[in-house]
Structure 1
Amino acid sequence: MMVIFIVVLGLGVVGWRMYKTGKLQEALVQKLGSRVFEKQEEMNLVYQALGFKEPRTYLVLFLNNTEMRPGGGFIGAYAAVRVDKGTPHILKVEGTEILDNRAPRNVSSPPPEALKKYLYIERWNFRDSNWSPDFASSAAKAMELYALENGTAASEITGVIGITPTVLQEVLRLSGPVRVGGELYTADNVVQKLEYEVEYGYARRGISFDDRKKVLADMTHALVSRLRYDVFRNWSKYLGLAGGMAKEKHIIVFALEPDTQRVLMLKNWAGTMKSADGDYLLWADANLASLKTDLAMDRELSYSITPTSSGRAVISAGYMAKVKMKYIHKGKFDQFTTRYRTYARVYTPMGTVFYKVKGSLRNDRTTDPGTVDQGVENGRQWFGAFISIEPGKTGELEWQFYLSPRVSDQIRAGTYKLLAQKQIGTIANGLTLNLNFGKKVIFASPGEPQDQHGDTQYRIAADLREDREFEVKLDD
């Protein structure tokens, strides 16, 4: 996938379309691929993905993480791209609202209950398709709705690629600023400037609503011009950038072909909910009509467990867990910022038993407690609720539940493992663990500060810039 990113980034530059046989492209793939893949089987899949055997068509989702959705960010725009012998051919680029508004009237696609309840929509639109925090699930739904709405080359799609604006920021940080339509775009202002252009600036320029996102295509052309030689002179830097963006889930890929998807998951480029043989935690927010307020939000996630009685755990009940998200709204009401309305879900192992929730709201116009939803997805138990935070304020949503019996049994047997997965598109939410096992901790990875050794608790502060794994060994 990193190879694909570099190749596509350099495609069309320095006259690549002159090389109809794809020999130049193939040579570059071989050079870059040897740095990433150890097995020839994996290289063969890269050649296949880049259309050296037969053309491949991809649905590219632009995931706006200033408006978070469970699968990475609101899908404000998309592209259909065919790759043939390493060279991309753009079939379509437009705003998702155009495709949704063009959809046949007889399309029937009931939306998730939360979208229906809080946004009052009756049809599941393509732009809302990434409702799952598991990218494979969201990609499959995106392909389904794209086909229902008669998207370009829908029957030919072989994979889905998700990209957040964070990638554009980091590319500009490497390449330097670019000028588009008389405006200078830098790594520090590109997200805000693009938001302004597609929401307000287009009218000032005399551009129609349907063409307002043409600035994205103009930005692409400007980047291609800037990167014409830079990407080849500094390919190792761009390769490192691609790897970092994939690890941090700002570039994610889904492939219909099972062997390719297996490699993507092995390399941690697929954005899937991973299997875990111990405890598991994933918090997913869904910005519901809160403009681009995620730019103004800081988040701090804390997770604690305690035995259900003083001292050692009661075998029949085990351990009580609390997971709390603290939302810090640093903004004020303006054209891009409003109160933050989110439908938040926490994912835990199967067998987790809900106890209670604190901080949920019925809606953003009342302080009445909200309802709690529960469900199962990808072999995980989830709980969901709504909360709203006013500008300049702090809000908290806390779940309490009994740990899965399987996890409690592992603790009693002397081992605890936790996989904490980040939500696709988030930057580096804070993560604090305070885990009381009721028995002495004898080993932990990552380790605690030395002055906290020797007791029954594991305390550590980290972040969710990427997925995190923790392991604790306990005295019998």
Structure 2
Amino acid sequence: MARTALALREAESAAGRLRSELAAGDEAATRSAGSRLAEQADVARRHSDGWGFAALTHLPVVGDDVDAVRRVARSVDVLGADALPPALGVLETVRGGGLRSEDGGIRLDTLASVSGPVTEAHDASTRADRAVAGVRSDRLVGPLSGPVADLQQQVQELDRSLGAAEKAVELLPAMLGAGDRREYLLVVQNNAEIRSTGGLPGSLSVLRAEDGRVELGKQGNASLFGLSADPVARLTPDEVDLYGRNVALDLRDTNLIPDFPRAASLMARFAEQRGQQVDGVVSVDPVTLAEVLRATGPVEAGGVRLDADNAPRLLLNEPYQRLRSNEEQDAYFQEVSRGILDALLSGQGDQLELVRVLSQAAQQRRFLVWSDSDDEQRRIEDTPIAAALPRDEGISPSVGLYLNDSTRAKIQYYLRYDADIRSLGCTAAGRQQVVAEMELRSDVPDDVARLTEFVTGDGTYARKGDDAMNLRLYAPTEGRLQALTVDGEPAGIKVGQDGDRQVSVLPLTLRPGESVRVRALFETRPGQIGDPSLQWTPSMEWGPTRATARNLCG
């Protein structure tokens, strides 16, 4: 048992290195980590396959645990033997520059050539994930519990990433205009004025794609497509109650709705009423554009030199302090956005790093895609790039925490927050008790007077320097909020519905330098005893926007 535990611990460490090296695109380090993973997995498998372990599987109490360890060891062995080789082949293709053509387009023939290896790697990771999905690591003996739990997470995350890659390789040729030109509405969300899916849709452009070549068309702010005297689509009573009629009258308010497919479909309708037919909507945020500069290198635009470190400030704060009119700010933002996007679309810089950045942005729900094709949308709707409101019709409950600005200003540049979720177990009726927490902090400087009204607002909706917003808490499907506190005190809320999900609306106001902790206790419907997950609005900080906890339901 001790030798198996040590081997699994070493395998878990190697799996973590493998995933990070794959993401970083370091082929030599990836091969090294993969070899170490295969070696330790083989040791664990051989030891757990021995006659001693086989005998232990028949003993009470420890039998199930020993069988679980054997399954984990075998699944890791599958990863090293079956998933790694094709993944390394794809890595070599991208690193060698085979993905981009000389004119900066995407080589559709290369996408076709890597489709098989990506599918092969994903099939292997899925087999490994299924093999360990039902293992209860919390019930294993001490030396095994931690490594097995970490391995399960590594395998699950790898499988999720490879699944998204497989969908991308499958759909990209058509979406990049293979044989038929496509046009998309490109939306840059402004995180400094927060919305459920990230930020205010501040900059709009048209993207044209044909035979793998993508170019940037006309640009403008929300007024380019964004206002309508009549609703651009029929809203449900729940949408009107929760988000107001303005989501169908002003494009800037569409993504008050946290379900990006719904918000994007409204954005497309705004474009269409101005005579711009689109095949879909693509969205990024300036936090992603800053990370893109790590791959492309710095760019000169708008009279400034932008790099990965200064871009958030130069995109989301400094213009509102320096430029004194909305027109100047819009012109500046369009120019610097075009500079970054031109570098992205031209294939400038390290292509493997660019793929890594966009993959991470998709995982963080910062790089989003909606297709007007029902068939395409069905195939991407379960991937992170779709940023759909999680559907939890199965046994695993999902909770959502989504923020929307109330100041009509750019004060959320100074907002920092994080969130987490945990299970408290299940009732006798099979209802799971789930706690979601979010801690928020205002980093607005003490000298509020030096900030312009573009940043603070004019005082109409919130006192200057205060960060006012609404937090919408989505309960699991057919579940309910049982208790809500802010810094330990009961909080007053408005309760509504979004279909079969209860939604609670909590107004929050933070003074400069103030922190608050929101704690929400949910109860699921009977039978939702799987691992609970939480997703929340992307922030100014590059990092996860989703968490999953181990259920404690026995």
TM-score (norm 1): 0.70
- After superposition, the Cα gap between the structure-2 partners of 1:82 and 1:152, relative to the gap in structure 1 and judged at 3 Å, is farther
1:325 to 438, 442, 447: 438
* Amino acid of the structure 2 residue aligned with 1:234: D
- After superposition, the Cα gap between the structure-2 partners of 1:284 and 1:173, relative to the gap in structure 1 and judged at 3 Å, is same
How much identity, in percent, do the aligned residues show?
17
Note the C-alpha offset of 1:31: 6.2
- After superposition, the Cα gap between the structure-2 partners of 1:217 and 1:115, relative to the gap in structure 1 and judged at 3 Å, is same
User: Is structure 2 residue 259 aligned with structure 1 residue 142?
Assistant: no
Preserved CA contact (<8 Å) 1:133 1:424: no
Note the C-alpha offset of 1:77: 1.3
* Amino acid of the structure 2 residue aligned with 1:372: K
Paired position in structure 2 for 1:294: 412
Paired position in structure 1 for 2:532: 418
1:373 to 495, 500, 518: 495
Note the C-alpha offset of 1:86: 2.3
User: For the residues of structure 1 that align with 2:274 and 2:512, how far apart are their CA atoms?
Assistant: 38
2:186 to 60, 64, 86: 60
Preserved CA contact (<8 Å) 2:228 2:270: no
* Amino acid of the structure 2 residue aligned with 1:280: S
After the TM superposition, which of the residue ranges 272-281 and 104-113 deviates more from structure 2? 104-113
- After superposition, the Cα gap between the structure-2 partners of 1:139 and 1:425, relative to the gap in structure 1 and judged at 3 Å, is farther
- After superposition, the Cα gap between the structure-2 partners of 1:324 and 1:177, relative to the gap in structure 1 and judged at 3 Å, is same
Preserved CA contact (<8 Å) 1:358 1:399: yes
Q: Which protein, 1 or 2, shows the higher relative CO under an 8 Å CA cutoff with sep ≥ 6? A: 1
User: Is structure 2 residue 173 aligned with structure 1 residue 50?
Assistant: no
More strand by share: 1
More helix by share: 2
Paired position in structure 2 for 1:343: 470
User: Is structure 2 residue 212 aligned with structure 1 residue 86?
Assistant: yes
Note the C-alpha offset of 1:116: 5.4
Preserved CA contact (<8 Å) 1:317 1:402: no
Note the C-alpha offset of 1:396: 3.5
Question: SS of the residue aligned with 2:308?
Answer: coil
Paired position in structure 1 for 2:254: 129
User: For the residues of structure 2 that align with 1:368 and 1:390, how far apart are their CA atoms?
Assistant: 19
Note the C-alpha offset of 1:52: 1.7
User: For the residues of structure 2 that align with 1:234 and 1:179, how far apart are their CA atoms?
Assistant: 18
State the superposition RMSD in angstroms: 4.0
Note the C-alpha offset of 1:11: 12
- After superposition, the Cα gap between the structure-2 partners of 1:346 and 1:43, relative to the gap in structure 1 and judged at 3 Å, is same
Alignment deviations for residues 365-403 of structure 1 (CA, whole Å, 9 cap, x no partner):
xx99644222124x5332222111111112243434433
Paired position in structure 2 for 1:180: 301
Note the C-alpha offset of 1:89: 4.3
Paired position in structure 1 for 2:364: 248
Preserved CA contact (<8 Å) 2:279 2:371: yes
Q: Computing the radius of gyration over CA atoms, which structure comes out larger, 1 or 2?
A: 2
Preserved CA contact (<8 Å) 1:331 1:392: yes
Paired position in structure 2 for 1:357: 484
User: For the residues of structure 2 that align with 1:314 and 1:34, how far apart are their CA atoms?
Assistant: 46
Question: SS of the residue aligned with 1:406?
Answer: coil
- After superposition, the Cα gap between the structure-2 partners of 1:32 and 1:294, relative to the gap in structure 1 and judged at 3 Å, is farther
Paired position in structure 1 for 2:36: none
Paired position in structure 2 for 1:433: none
User: For the residues of structure 2 that align with 1:218 and 1:32, how far apart are their CA atoms?
Assistant: 35
Question: SS of the residue aligned with 1:326?
Answer: strand
- Unaligned 5+ residue runs, structure 2? 1-22, 24-89, 123-165, 457-464
Note the C-alpha offset of 1:273: 2.5
- After superposition, the Cα gap between the structure-2 partners of 1:304 and 1:45, relative to the gap in structure 1 and judged at 3 Å, is closer
After the TM superposition, which of the residue ranges 254-263 and 163-172 deviates more from structure 2? 254-263
User: For the residues of structure 2 that align with 1:26 and 1:168, how far apart are their CA atoms?
Assistant: 24
Paired position in structure 2 for 1:465: 544
After the TM superposition, which of the residue ranges 107-116 and 242-251 deviates more from structure 2? 107-116
Question: SS of the residue aligned with 1:283?
Answer: strand
After the TM superposition, which of the residue ranges 297-306 and 25-34 deviates more from structure 2? 25-34
TM-score (norm 2): 0.61
* Amino acid of the structure 2 residue aligned with 1:272: A
Question: SS of the residue aligned with 2:384?
Answer: coil
- After superposition, the Cα gap between the structure-2 partners of 1:304 and 1:81, relative to the gap in structure 1 and judged at 3 Å, is closer
User: For the residues of structure 1 that align with 2:474 and 2:345, how far apart are their CA atoms?
Assistant: 44
After the TM superposition, which of the residue ranges 233-242 and 217-226 deviates more from structure 2? 217-226
1:283 to 398, 401, 424: 401
Question: SS of the residue aligned with 1:58?
Answer: strand
- After superposition, the Cα gap between the structure-2 partners of 1:41 and 1:391, relative to the gap in structure 1 and judged at 3 Å, is closer
Question: SS of the residue aligned with 2:360?
Answer: helix
Alignment deviations for residues 92-125 of structure 1 (CA, whole Å, 9 cap, x no partner):
211114544xx454557788446659xxx79731
- After superposition, the Cα gap between the structure-2 partners of 1:468 and 1:317, relative to the gap in structure 1 and judged at 3 Å, is closer
- After superposition, the Cα gap between the structure-2 partners of 1:27 and 1:163, relative to the gap in structure 1 and judged at 3 Å, is same
Question: SS of the residue aligned with 1:139?
Answer: helix
User: For the residues of structure 2 that align with 1:54 and 1:392, how far apart are their CA atoms?
Assistant: 53
- Unaligned 5+ residue runs, structure 1? 17-21, 308-312, 361-366, 411-415, 429-463
- After superposition, the Cα gap between the structure-2 partners of 1:26 and 1:64, relative to the gap in structure 1 and judged at 3 Å, is same
Preserved CA contact (<8 Å) 1:178 1:184: yes
Preserved CA contact (<8 Å) 1:248 1:465: yes
- After superposition, the Cα gap between the structure-2 partners of 1:122 and 1:380, relative to the gap in structure 1 and judged at 3 Å, is closer
Note the C-alpha offset of 1:25: 4.3
User: For the residues of structure 2 that align with 1:302 and 1:222, how far apart are their CA atoms?
Assistant: 36
Alignment deviations for residues 218-265 of structure 1 (CA, whole Å, 9 cap, x no partner):
32554477669863x632221222212211221111112233223323
Preserved CA contact (<8 Å) 2:400 2:536: yes
User: Is structure 2 residue 385 aligned with structure 1 residue 269?
Assistant: yes
* Amino acid of the structure 1 residue aligned with 2:496: Q
Preserved CA contact (<8 Å) 1:14 1:228: no
